[in-house]
Structure 1
């Protein structure tokens, strides 16, 4: 990537967005923002109780992420967001055109195993099925790449950097 893009690290819970996001930002030399920090307290409480968020719960969260990304336009940045549905990604792009997505992918078994080993995170493993049911992978017309999460964080980050560098530059 030759111009400073804002990259959204996306995927279901447990794919490593919070781990890969800062590593990717460091490799790209741009700031990182943790998407979970943009959630209102009510969203955290719902997820902690094992209740999936509704679209109405997600809109203010996505708008806050979009505002951060808009503020980084032309400067670059990396932010994490599940961005599971096309409509969510469209909303982010409406706030910050030119976003590029890194979709972290992996088998349900691997992701569940990683989630079960996390400590102190509000998202229970019980919500993983709802995450996979909601997921709409990136479409060919969406700027982004899919990156498998098998391997070490460093290996995953390296795959993401290589895939991003292989993307064509957007036309202006």
Structure 2
């Protein structure tokens, strides 16, 4: 089975793009924020960046979810900031073919997007720490980097093309 992790800093459009990818491909979707323990959400809502120790059980639960879906014969699209290569290594350890779609863009545009959100726990004040933590997808990692400037449907088209996937998920 195939699994796409839509990654990037907060405000890069992970949920929007991942939902469109899942819909176009007919794959199962999951929002990584739903895997966070309440303590992590409280830290972020208070403007406190998560540590690697905070993220470890969260990443493990996402990888476990991917492996469970793989065992069921289900391909997936999941959002996850996956800011460091070590975090992506945890996700890559899940069963199946795990690839990344790194949404990259201008930090000022991302900050404006974050400021416009009214229903999310992540404050704009954490964007600098996310940008400082981000280790971009490397050439030897399975996946693609897609710019977030165009409309979401175009971002999805570009990601699908770069990944060699058509709308049937093949």
Match of 2:55 in 1: 58
**Cα distance in structure 2, aligned partners of 1:75 and 1:98:** 12
Match of 2:137 in 1: 138
Contact 1:6/1:72 (<8 A) preserved = no
What is the correspondence of 1:17-166 to structure 2 with a 5 Å cutoff? 17-73=14-70, 74-96=73-95, 98-165=97-164
Post-superposition Cα deviations, 1:82-134, rounded to whole Å, max 9, x if no partner, equal 00000000111123352100000001011111111111100000000000000
RMSD (CA atoms): 1.2
**Cα distance in structure 1, aligned partners of 2:51 and 2:95:** 23
Match of 1:11 in 2: 8
Post-superposition Cα deviations, 1:43-67, rounded to whole Å, max 9, x if no partner, equal 0000000000000000010011001
Post-superposition Cα deviations, 1:19-38, rounded to whole Å, max 9, x if no partner, equal 11110011111010011000
Report the TM-score, using the length of structure 2 for normalisation. Answer: 0.92
Structure 1: which 5+ residue stretches go unaligned? 167-172
Contact 1:9/1:103 (<8 A) preserved = yes
Post-superposition Cα deviations, 1:68-94, rounded to whole Å, max 9, x if no partner, equal 111222521000000000000011112
User: How many pairs does the alignment contain?
Assistant: 163
> SS state of the match for residue 162, structure 1?
helix
> SS state of the match for residue 149, structure 2?
coil
Structure 2: which 5+ residue stretches go unaligned? 166-170
**Cα distance in structure 2, aligned partners of 1:50 and 1:32:** 27
Question: Which 4+ runs in 1 deviate beyond 3 A?
Answer: none
